[in-house]
Amino acid sequence: MQARTIRSPANGRPPAVDAPRHASKKVVHACDDSKRCDDKITRLEADVARFKAQEAKEHVTFRLIEDLLAQDDLYMMMDVFFAYVEGLFPRDQRHRCAVFLLDADTDSMAKIVPKLCSVEAVPTTRSIAAEVASTGATVSARDLSRLAAYNPGVDLAPVAAATFVAFGLLDSTGDVFAVVQALSSAEMAPFDLALLQRLGPILSNAMRKAIEFHDILLSQRTQAALLHIVSSSSTEETILKLVQRVIKGANHIVHCESVTLFLLDWPRNELWSLSSSFRRSNLRFAIDGCLLGAAALSSAIINVKHAPSDARFDAAVDDRGSGATTALYVPIGVHHMNDVQPIAVLECINKLNAHKEPSEFTYEDECAFEAFASEVAVILRRRSQETDYLKLLADTKSESLWAERAQSQVNLLEAFTSKPCSLQSQLADRLSDSFFNSESLSPLPALDTPPRPLTQLFKTKSVDVPTVPRWSLNVFTTELETLLSYTQNMLLDPVMALPNLDPSVVQNFIQIVQDHYHPNPFHNFLHGFSVLHTSYCILKDTQAVTVLTPPDRFGCLIAALCHDIDHPGHSNVFEVNSRSALALLHNDDAVLERHHAATTFRLLQNEHVNILQGLSPDEYRYARKVIVRAIIGTDMAQHFEHIEALEKRWLPYARTADPLVEDRRGPALAGFGKSADDRIFLVQTIVHASDLGAQVFPTPIALKWSNMIAKEFAYQALMETAEGLPVTHLHVDDPLHMVESQHFFAARIVQPLWHCLVRFLPKLDHCLGNLQKNIAHYESEIRRLKQLSPHSPRKRLRPLAHSEGQAIPGTTRCTPAKFNSFRLCSGDLKTQLSFSSLISDFSATSLDTADDMGGIDDVDDDD
């Protein structure tokens, strides 16, 4: 079929019949073009509007950044952030939001919810927040119940007809440091989500700088507080002036409406106040049934956010008309490892911020008060007999007379003869000689009556007590009563004890020694017992006992037990630099060691505790010589000279194959028995090696001791800074610095001494094995920490949650780095944590709250 052809006319115009159709097509095309232009204009206008809206949001974001950077308080910073997120959903009644800050070394996150003013520790497992934290992915859903990872105990609670979104915030290194969850009626715009995620590095850095600024302020406040009490150990000040210094110091840490120091009268089961009784009425309360007493009974800091709602609150005791809302109760003179009862409780009521507005006590406040309380405890314990006197005087004298006498140096004899004593039996006799002249430099007078009753600690006066374990003993998991029984057993061991030793006198001696060890982080009774136990094991397990005479052996044990008695928690360097009374008394030479020796024999002047009373004058002089020289021999200034002397003694036998072959008195060891001075040198060696013996135990125990000494070093650094002295321990919060210090101590200080000792006493070779394992652990940690970011000494790789024995930074610049297996014990995790304790470094891992190291799970040294 042929196609139809329409021929054009001669003029070239189309036929008339087709003209209308062609015009219609032009109109249609023109309309389409116009519509396309309109659509394009509409789209362009929409894009312009969107861009303007985005620009406005970016301007809001810039203002947010300025507001964040202007904040120096982390709580205010989080409030600003929450206000920004809430502004993304105006007038949305279904809007909810929460932020989870990662604590990456542990199984916990800090959940912060706005308006509730709460910070809750939640696990990092089995939740949407945990999933986002581990993967970095964004989760969005309308029905939370359909998400397998949803955990109602952790994640936000679902809201009807609301959209859920969860996303991570990254720090400058690309790691998730926080997870944000939000619920709203409408979905979060992708641009808003992108803006929030872009805020991550800025928010992380702002928080880190705020933490550093806060750490500096906390350090300054703590140092100012310590500065008020560093001179309070002087006996020239009255006890009330001392208490006033303590209260002023506490107000430098936090400003409160009321600060009161309550002393504890355990025989009467009462609390009483030195600071207020002569001004108003004699404040004296029963310990039971109040928050104040709960702090004393639990020996733990109690931080109350709303006191009246606490079940332990007693308005008559805990309020006293002050309108108590927030309260902090700090026990003074406690040490959980020694099960020591506190001697006082510091009560702080209603904390005020810089604007004089009520605020809550934080975890940082608790840390600062812990260091402060450690120093106050030493001073109060040294002045305990004065406080006993004032307590007695408050009972027996009128209020006005008590006020007059309490503020001046008093005539104790007149006070006790004017009215019978009603405090304790024979207390007047005890106190009549308890004060010493204000010109005296010795802070510890002798007692003329027995120490406090022993019936609660020693169930029987029989010497039939449990056999003392050898090197398997873990002092951190052993009850105090058992340790005291072991001490009695060691001193009464027939191989060690002096003849005709009265067990009751031994018990009294042990008790008074324990009473004169202060609750320092390291130099406490637990350390004294550990050195005694190590010395005992050396004597029992080696041939050293065959060289030494009975006075040598017994003197060795007494010196080991008392070698750090009345230790103030400072080093000799601090005593000399601060020009303390002890440094002046002992002419800057082995200041603390000479004080320990002098304190030991001052206590032995009491006939009820004098375990040397059965010796003849010549025997007593020799025993005293052994004990004094052994205690002074623990002075680290003599350490390398001591090693050199041991090397010289070994040199003649260095080429001998085995000088101790089945010979109980081998030629090398027998050289120590040639004279009294040789035997005393061996005793010095045993006590000194035992004093440094923490690192020859298994790693879990060695690391625990490392944590304790690091804490004491941090306290000394605070004191040195407060007094303007050279700081001997810098960067206490830096884990690498801490591990390097411990490695140097173990490898360069402890190992040479124990290597020399094992030459003479080869049965101690297993101790060297433990020491070498501990040194290897420190070396491994140093390698791990040096691989981390050079930009931050506190920057760490993210290990497993239960990484045993890894070093982690301190919570603040003032608190020491630690080995994480001992950070917290089971059940000790605070439900209310501050930002500084949870986000000490957002670019890295934070605190470890797992106490999983085998054998010492139930012990905590800090917190």
Q: Does 742 appear as a known binding residue?
A: yes
Q: Exposed, middle or buried, 395 (CB in 10 Å: 0-12/13-18/19+)?
A: middle
What phi and psi values does residue 352 have, to the nearest 5 degrees? -115, 140
Compute CA 574 distance to the chain's CA centroid, rounded to the nearest angstrom. 21
Q: Does 523 appear as a known binding residue?
A: yes
One-letter-per-residue 3-state SS of 665-707: CCHHHHHHHCCHHHHHHHHHHHHHHHHCHHHHCCHHHHHHHHH
Contacts of 803 (CB under 8 A, 6+ apart): 105, 820, 848
- Whether 210 contacts 836, CB under 8 Å: no
- Whether 517 contacts 600, CB under 8 Å: no
The CB density around residue 56, as the number of other CB atoms within 10 Å, is 10
DSSP, residue by residue, 388-413:
HHHHHHHHHS-HHHHHHHHTS---HH
Is 255 an active-site residue? no
**Rounded CA separation 546/469 (Å):** 21
- Whether 806 contacts 799, CB under 8 Å: yes
Nearest to residue 424, comparing CAs of 449, 456, 461? 449
What is the DSSP-derived secondary structure letter of residue 18?
A: G
The letter for the amino acid at 151 is N
**Rounded CA separation 738/789 (Å):** 17
**Rounded CA separation 43/60 (Å):** 25
17-47: string of b/e by CB count within 10 Å (b at 16+)? Answer: eeeeeeeeeeeeeeeeeeeeeeeeeeeeeee
Contacts of 555 (CB under 8 A, 6+ apart): 623, 626, 627, 630, 683
Q: Does 306 appear as a known binding residue?
A: no
Rg (C-alpha) for the chain, rounded Å, is 36
Alpha-carbon separation of residue 659 from 169, 766, 861 (angstroms): 68, 19, 44
The letter for the amino acid at 677 is D
Q: Does 355 appear as a known binding residue?
A: no
Q: Does 791 appear as a known binding residue?
A: no
The residue from 518, 523, 570, 596 that is catalytic is: 523
DSSP, residue by residue, 457-491:
T-S-S-S--PPPP-TT--GGGS-HHHHHHHHHHHH
Contacts of 23 (CB under 8 A, 6+ apart): none
Catalytic residues: 523
Binding-site residue ranges: 523-527, 563-564, 691, 742
Q: Residues marked as binding for Zn(2+)?
A: 527, 563-564, 691
- Binding-site positions for AMP read 523-527, 564, 691, 742
